[in-house]
Amino acid sequence: MPGTALKFRLPDSLVLTDLISTLRTAFPMVEEPPISLARSYYDSFDWRLFQAGKVLWRETARRQQRLVLTDTDEEQSGEFQPLSGQMPGFHRELPPGRLREQVAALLDMRVLLPVADVGVTEQIYRVLDEEEKTLLRIATGSYRGTIPGSKGSIPLGGWLRLFPVRGYLKDLDRVQSFLGTEIGLTPASGGILELALTAMGTRPLDYSSKLKFHFSPEERADKAAKKIHLHLLDTLEQNLPGTLADLDSEFLHDLRVAVRRTRSALTQIKGVFEPSAVERFKERLGWVGQITGPTRDMDVYLLDYADYRDSLPERFRKDLEPLHDFLLAHQRQAQRALSRKLRSKAFQELMMDWRTFLEAPVQNSPQGVDGALPIGDVAGKRIYKIFKRVLRQGLAIGADSPPEALHELRKDCKKLRYLIEFFRSLYPQDLIDPVIKTLKALLDNLGDFQDMEVQALKLREFAHEMLREGEVPADTLLAMGMLVDGLLNRQQRARDAFAKRFARFAGKGNRAAFKSLFSENKSSESLA
Amino acid sequence: MRIIGVYNIKGGVGKTATAVNLAYVSAAAGFRTLVWDLDPQGAATYYFRVKPRVKGGGERILRGQREIDRVIKGTDFERLDLLPADFSYRNMDLVLGETKKPAKQLLRLLHPLAEEFDYIYLDCPPSISLVSENIFRAADALLIPTIPTTLSVRTYQQLLQFLDGHGLAKISRMPFFSMVDRRKRMHSQIIAEMPRHHPEMLSTSLPYASDVEKMGTHRQPVGVSSPTCLAARAYQSLWAEVMERLP
């Protein structure tokens, strides 16, 4: 029932029995036995369901469990799925059905984590007609909320909820207006989950891997740079527990992206810190990139495994199974090594040193040559410089250029993208968005070109390693060979598409946009 | 969406009880289920305590002048909805006869509900008519309650002849024994023989049970009024068998 009031907060002063007797004077009602409901809400670490306007919970009542997926107001009828046993983590472990399909599309590779528990003992009344047919259900109860894993619950107040029955909307109307005019209740919006999270001092969407900064052009460059680095360090640390526990592959991915962005920011936002400090931290953070690499490699193959398998003709798909076993075993091995290193003293010291460096207040006399300059100038200058470099490199690439030329170009494009994303708040959104979009399209193409090659070479490596580790069926190696062939074909397609993508990036319109946004002689008037 | 017609040429064989109880089991299992009470007598509608009346008249539904999803009523059970009977359904043959493709009207009407329901049970009036031909063309399967008597076996064969003669040989047929009284010799005999000639017979049979008869008093599916009784269990296993056999 979109747009209709189905939830009412009961004032603490209201006596429930009085409310029910008043309702009874106007509507024939029967009382059902009270029912205890325990709801556990689930979402991914980055709130993928909530972001899409959905809420998922497991409900236990009368020893029966079911999953419910609704809109965030929790009033739409939604999807139901009986559940037996443990709460699944990944969408593929959910019982098949529409609920799983919807959750799968939103969740992708992310695991479901508990976000809030809510309990209520509800008294349900059925409003009847003369045939004793149920026209509407009225439920009252006091809700309690708990943060998963913590002790003690927080009272969420008394609530009255209406459950309409299809085809009896007039009866719903009558009860709604009675509750308003006779009882003086006002309808509440939002779902129980939001209510519970607010009461418990948290809120949905408290984590996102996206960059959101708000800079003003006059801000000191070293200050702005520290803000960027601190945000990235927070992101890194937020993803650490999930990475250590290997809850899903995205924790490590986000952690690695944060490290990569940090290293890029260290070198690309030039001259804002003391050069020796920059060198030191760049190197130490490079080590984090290295130790996290092997696990990520295996994660990538496992994530793509189904696509790999399905790219083969049906009768060869089974041949690939030993590869899957190999990937699983090596992922576990790499993950164990990674956990050890992330728990090491060296890593902890790095985190501590880096935070200490970032949290130290900036001094009046800056440590880097450009530290005290306004960030608007520093950002525009750097972005435009890298842009010109990318243009030069790309224009020099012809049909005969070696793959390395494209790989180099990709590196600089990435730097450019990170820089623009760090500083996008300095520029008008309607101008900066298309610039990012064109750059992303080029990067996707370059990414495909390089990744396909890397993956193909890595598969060859795997084949040799599998042979070293024991017997591998010849059919498995042949199937892997077919994958290599497919990957190299895709790489060639990416190569073929490059010229067109780059032409769009290097086109007049995009060049003019870069110039007007970032070029020095235009920078002051073009800043937002 | 799967459409299951509960049908027999003969009346009084337990069609309505089957449609209502199977639909209840289906909804309880988590599927969005609809019962369309096509019988002007409106027994299924009565069981669900809904008024046997379609707003604006059932004829307008059949003529496509009123959207079908606007006259659906929620029952007292989660995920189980009802398209109520309407007294005008007694003239359904005439109304259907006036349309362009008289034998395919029901299918056209049900089409928009595909997104909304997983299973639709049609509680069909007895006899062979334009209405039943519509049902045969709309349904994925015909569930045929059959009392184990010589006469019932004969009507089943008549139905098969009709289906084969009207290009409906493809529809999945699921006859099953209904109102079985094992104390009667004829029942036991036919139960032993008929599946040999008709291997399509479902293996579940429904007992002749007072719990089913009492549905008229309780006005509830047996799964609600007496969830552990033999009949309730039989409907459970009948549903499971139908689900397995559905094309």
State the pLDDT at residue A526: 38
Q: Is B83 on the interface with A (CB under 8 A)?
A: no
Q: For residue A487, is it within any domain?
A: yes
The mean pLDDT value of chain B amounts to 92
From B211's Cα to the closest Cα of chain A, the distance in A is 20
State the pLDDT at residue A152: 85
| Statement to judge: residues A295 and A396 lie in one domain | no
From A167's Cα to the closest Cα of chain B, the distance in A is 5
How would you classify residue B79: left for phi > 0, otherwise alpha for psi between -120 and 50, otherwise beta? left
Q: Assign A159 to helix, strand or coil.
A: strand
| Statement to judge: residues A341 and A433 lie in one domain | no
Choose between A526 and A438: higher pLDDT.
A438
- CA B60 vs CA A362, B56, B96, B138: distances in Å: 78, 7, 11, 19
Q: For residue A366, is it within any domain?
A: no
Q: Which residues contact A292 (CB under 8 A, 6 or more apart)?
A: A252, A255, A256, A259, A338
Interface-testing mutation among B73, B82, B113, with chain A (most A C-beta atoms within 10 A) = B73
Q: Is B71 on the interface with A (CB under 8 A)?
A: yes
Q: Which residues pair with A41 in a beta bridge?
A: A57, A116
CA B186 to chain centre: 26
Q: For residue A179, is it within any domain?
A: yes
Write the CATH number for A188.
Answer: 2.40.320.10
Parent domain of A320: 216-357
A68: closest chain B residue by CA: B30
**What total of structural domains would you count in chain A?**
3
Q: For residue A390, is it within any domain?
A: yes
State the pLDDT at residue A265: 95
* Segments of A108-250 assigned E as strands: 113-128, 134-146, 154-164
The structural domains of chain B, with segments of one domain joined by +, span: 2-245
pLDDT (tens digit, 9 = 90+) per residue, B2-52? Answer: 999 999 999 999 999 999 999 999 999 888 999 999 998 999 999 999 999
pLDDT (tens digit, 9 = 90+) per residue, A434-485? Answer: 999 999 999 999 999 999 999 999 999 999 999 999 889 999 999 999 999 9
Q: For residue A226, is it within any domain?
A: yes
From B83's Cα to the closest Cα of chain A, the distance in A is 10
Q: For residue A371, is it within any domain?
A: no
A82: closest chain B residue by CA: B30
β-sheet with B119-123: strand ranges across? B73-74, B80-83, B33-37, B119-123, B2-6, B141-146, B172-177
Mean pLDDT of A400-418: 95
A166: closest chain B residue by CA: B74
Mean pLDDT of A387-415: 95
| Cβ contacts of A134 on chain B, cutoff 8 Å | 76
| Statement to judge: residues A47 and A116 lie in one domain | yes
State the pLDDT at residue A76: 65
Residue A290 has pLDDT above 70, yes or no: yes
Dist CA A33 CA A125 (whole Å)? 9
ipTM score for this prediction: 0.89
- Phi and psi at residue A198, to the nearest 5°: -60, -45
- CA A36 vs CA A59, A120, A121, A141, A357: distances in Å: 10, 6, 4, 10, 52
Dist CA A115 CA A118 (whole Å)? 10
| Statement to judge: residues A37 and A145 lie in one domain | yes
CB A16 within 8 A of CB A99: no
Under the banding of pLDDT at 50, 70 and 90, the label for residue A527 is: very low
Write the CATH number for A510.
Answer: 1.40.20.10
CATH number of the structural domain B2-245: 3.40.50.300
Residue A217 has pLDDT above 70, yes or no: yes
| Statement to judge: residues A123 and A183 lie in one domain | yes
State the pLDDT at residue A188: 87
CB A162 within 8 A of CB A175: yes
| Statement to judge: residues A257 and A320 lie in one domain | yes
How many C-alpha atoms does B207 have within 13 Å on its Cβ side?
A: 14
Mean pLDDT of A201-229: 89
> How much of chain B, in percent, has pLDDT values that exceed 90?
70
Nearest to B73 among A80, A97, A166 (CB): A166
Q: Is B77 on the interface with A (CB under 8 A)?
A: no
Lowest-confidence segment of A26-30, A330-334, B83-87 by average pLDDT: B83-87
Residue A271 has pLDDT above 80, yes or no: yes
State the pLDDT at residue A216: 92
| Statement to judge: residues A26 and A134 lie in one domain | yes
Q: Which of B89, B38, B100, B102 shows the shortest CA–CA distance to B60?
A: B89
Under the banding of pLDDT at 50, 70 and 90, the label for residue A396 is: very high
* Among candidate residues A357, A390, A409, the one where a domain is terminated: A357
- CA A48 vs CA A110, A117, A206: distances in Å: 9, 18, 12
Mean pLDDT of A506-518: 94
Q: Assign B200 to helix, strand or coil.
A: coil
pLDDT (tens digit, 9 = 90+) per residue, A103-154? Answer: 999 999 999 999 999 999 999 999 999 999 999 999 999 999 998 888 889 9
Mean pLDDT of B212-222: 93
State the pLDDT at residue A4: 61
Q: Which of B198, B181, B180, B178 shows the shortest CA–CA distance to B238?
A: B178
| Statement to judge: residues A162 and A41 lie in one domain | yes
The mean pLDDT value of chain A amounts to 92
Helix (H) / strand (E) element for B2: namely strand B2-6
A127: closest chain B residue by CA: B76
| Statement to judge: residues A286 and A423 lie in one domain | no
Residue A528 has pLDDT above 60, yes or no: no
Q: Is A132 on the interface with B (CB under 8 A)?
A: yes
| Statement to judge: residues A427 and A350 lie in one domain | no
| Residues written for chain A | 528
Dist CA A423 CA A211 (whole Å)? 10
Contact B74 A132 (CB under 8 A): no
Under the banding of pLDDT at 50, 70 and 90, the label for residue A233 is: very high
Interface-testing mutation among B32, B76, B115, with chain A (most A C-beta atoms within 10 A) = B76
| Statement to judge: residues A226 and A258 lie in one domain | yes
- CA A65 vs CA A34, A40, A86: distances in Å: 17, 11, 10
Q: For residue A326, is it within any domain?
A: yes
CB A114 within 8 A of CB A106: no
| Cβ contacts of B72 on chain A, cutoff 8 Å | 166-167
| Cβ contacts of B218 on chain A, cutoff 8 Å | none
| Statement to judge: residues A388 and A243 lie in one domain | no
Under the banding of pLDDT at 50, 70 and 90, the label for residue B136 is: very high
Instruction: Classify residue A180 by its DSSP letter.
Output: I
Residue A523 has pLDDT above 60, yes or no: no
